Amino acid sequence: MRTDNYFDTNRDLTFYYEKVIDWDRLVPLYAEPDDAMRPAETAASWREALSVAGDYIGHQVSARAVEVDRLGTPHKGDIKVSPPMAENLRGLADLGLIGLGVPREYGGEGMPFVVHSAVLETLARADAATMVQYAFYMSPAAMILRFGSDSQKQRWVPRLGRGEIIGWVAMTEPEAGSDVGNIGTTATRQPDGTWRINGRKQFISSGNGEVGVLLARAVPGSTGLDGLALFLVPRCIPDSVHGERQNFAVERAEEKVCINGSPTCALSFDDSYAEIMGSPGEGWHHITTFMNEARIAVGIQACGVAEAALSAARDYAAQRVQMKKPIREHPLVAEMLLDMETTVAGLRALWMESAVAYDLVQGLDRRLRGLSEVDPERPTLEARKRRLERYLRELTPLVKYFGAEEAIRIARTGMQVFGGYGVVKEYEVERFLRDSLILPIYEGTSQIQSLMATKDLLKAVMRNPRGLLVPGGHSPWLSSARFDGELGREYRRALRSFGVALGWLMFDLGRQIGPGRVAHLLRGGADLAEDDLGYVLLSAERLTQMLAHLHIGRLLAQQAQRWPERLPLAERFLKRTGDVCALNARRIMRGDREPLEVIKRWQSATA
């Protein structure tokens, strides 16, 4: 793997921090009052921190990545990270890089997520397992900051931000993966106000950490998403005989083919001590904030892994000579490299937009909490926040879906560029492919993301059926985008294909449920049942692919309007967007219901 400054030498990455991000808008929401008055200087100081991070990550973390992967972690007994992983994390802590997003009052730097995200991408490029470990300092800290008591914040957040301890977030159970409503872990309130946890959690990243945030059923007799609550669970608690004792059992770390250096644990709780965060019944609402942030982070991780594959393939193709010329001069290889570059740049555009939207929502939320209910500025800020929240909700499943699926394809293409050497561990490109395999699985599978995006799309159509008459009418960001010349032609072509497919789906749905129910729905008199939506949901991944491409094409075209050097990239991506939308529209309108018919046969056979 090339050792370099992974921030400074990545011109596409630094382009955003030097030109695209609107620091005048973002800095005042996060900086101290004096620094907020100097947004350019403050942003420059933040970029300096990223340069320091890029240097350490590109030279030190990347150099240890092979050993981190080879050594992995123990699978039973005393589960600890390997010495090279520990060295990676110690170096990040020593440089003050772990607490970048922790507020200053808790010892951190208080930087926005979009700054912190550049560290996530460069870490994922160097070693995806180290990026996972790094994320589980800030993830539990963020949950405690948002929902914990003052004493919980004071006790845990500074230590997490300094890298003294690491944490975990536990939602998944052996019998409740994506089905959160099936959670069986219970929490029972004690007379002293503390709680006791009983149950098991599985697939918990960094589950051997010193403190965790856990989702459990806190209301006896509750079902589904009702009655859940978040709990803070320490690894060790005081003991009168031994000083302290283990509060729960780390049963094992899973043996995986990917992110080997990061322990993925199964945890067992037997009357384990816990402290509630918030109130019983608020757990589902609270955990969704973590899930949405984590999904953006997975998209960023995907970009880093894809960047690693691209960088390796680009270097190898320039050096490897076949038939008396570098293989990059063979047209098929050149096309592969160009496709990889275009995809990585597109994914980066999407996660950047999502990260900035997230920062604006969080910053506005903090500002609103500081205003009185009668402040004249409140209605305007609330309207801005609602609009940004809708935008972020639209983008979040797309960045996770597109990043996860495309990172695998890019890593696979990178291996192909290496030919036979691609499967040899010495060249590392096989590790990029292995590490990419986790991306469509954790923090909500690709199929869950596509269903989320599609159900939100349906809601938008039901709120405003006339939007079907306008290409992209379900999304004000897609429908209002205007571009001249070739960019405009390609964008409109793609948007028309999407609109035709969506209109066909709605017409087909209307045929299935009948005109009476359609009229009732449009009057807001009922909801669609899952059985009604069979073919729409069968088309969910194709719709999501189209939406992700359309948003990326829009973002790159907007960049090209301001910075002409981005024009070739925008044109390449929009041509692909047109092709993807046209192909997926044809597939949707073919109306192939065979999977739905197979389901009916299975149901009949088991009835």
Q: What is the mean pLDDT of residues 563-588?
A: 97
Q: What is the mean pLDDT of residues 458-468?
A: 86
**So what's the pLDDT on residue 467?**
83
Q: Is the pLDDT of residue 526 over 70?
A: no
How far CA 408 is from CA of 242, 261, 281, 460, 547, in Å, comes to 49, 19, 38, 31, 19
Q: What is the mean pLDDT of residues 510-515?
A: 83
Residue 381 backbone phi and psi in degrees, to 5: -65, -40
The DSSP symbol for 224 reads: T
Q: Is the pLDDT of residue 555 over 90?
A: yes
Cα–Cα distance, 347 to 432 (Å, whole number)? 17
> pLDDT of 262-317, one tens digit each?
999 999 999 999 999 999 999 999 988 888 889 999 999 999 999 999 999 999 99
> pLDDT of 139-157, one tens digit each?
999 999 999 999 999 999 9
Q: What domains are defined for the chain?
A: 1-165 (1.10.540.10), 167-281 (2.40.110.10), 284-444 (1.20.140.10), 463-606 (no CATH)
**Best CA proximity match to 566, nearest among 114, 15, 9, 122:** 15
Under a CB-based contact definition with an 8 Å cutoff, are residues 94 and 81 in contact? no
**Best CA proximity match to 544, nearest among 481, 498, 480:** 498
Both tokens of residue 157? 């957040």
Under a CB-based contact definition with an 8 Å cutoff, are residues 301 and 127 in contact? no
Cα–Cα distance, 559 to 550 (Å, whole number)? 14
pLDDT confidence tier of residue 463, bands split at 50, 70 and 90: confident
> pLDDT of 328-367, one tens digit each?
999 999 999 999 999 999 999 999 999 999 999 999 999 9
Under a CB-based contact definition with an 8 Å cutoff, are residues 279 and 148 in contact? no
> pLDDT of 197-240, one tens digit each?
999 999 999 999 999 999 999 999 898 889 999 999 999 998 86
> pLDDT of 374-391, one tens digit each?
999 999 999 999 999 999
Both tokens of residue 255? 């043996």
- Residues 6+ away with beta carbon under 8 Å from 14: 7, 8, 47
**Best CA proximity match to 137, nearest among 206, 62, 43, 64:** 206
Under a CB-based contact definition with an 8 Å cutoff, are residues 7 and 52 in contact? no
Q: What is the mean pLDDT of residues 94-111?
A: 94
Q: Is the pLDDT of residue 517 over 80?
A: no
b/e per residue 409-429 (b: at least 16 CB within 10 A): ebbebbbebbeeebeeeebbb
Cα–Cα distance, 234 to 326 (Å, whole number)? 56
**So what's the pLDDT on residue 178?**
67
> pLDDT of 493-509, one tens digit each?
999 999 999 999 999 98
What's the angle, vertex CA 194, arms to CA 193 and CA 200, rounded to 5? 145
Residue 154 backbone phi and psi in degrees, to 5: -65, -35
Q: Is the pLDDT of residue 571 over 70?
A: yes
**So what's the pLDDT on residue 452?**
93
**Best CA proximity match to 367, nearest among 24, 29, 25, 27:** 29
Under a CB-based contact definition with an 8 Å cutoff, are residues 364 and 399 in contact? no
Under a CB-based contact definition with an 8 Å cutoff, are residues 131 and 205 in contact? no
Both tokens of residue 535? 């073919």
pTM for this entry: 0.95
Under a CB-based contact definition with an 8 Å cutoff, are residues 99 and 159 in contact? no
**Best CA proximity match to 58, nearest among 14, 98, 9:** 9
pLDDT confidence tier of residue 511, bands split at 50, 70 and 90: confident
Q: Which amino acid is at 355?
A: A
**So what's the pLDDT on residue 528?**
73
End-to-end CA distance of the chain: 56
Q: What percent of the chain has a predicted confidence (pLDDT) above 90?
A: 82
Q: What percent of the chain has a predicted confidence (pLDDT) above 70?
A: 98
Q: Which amino acid is at 428?
A: E
**So what's the pLDDT on residue 522?**
66
Cα–Cα distance, 445 to 464 (Å, whole number)? 29
Average pLDDT value over all residues in the chain: 93
**So what's the pLDDT on residue 377?**
92
Determine how β-strand 321-322 pairs with β-strand 325-326: antiparallel
**So what's the pLDDT on residue 126?**
98
pLDDT confidence tier of residue 95, bands split at 50, 70 and 90: very high
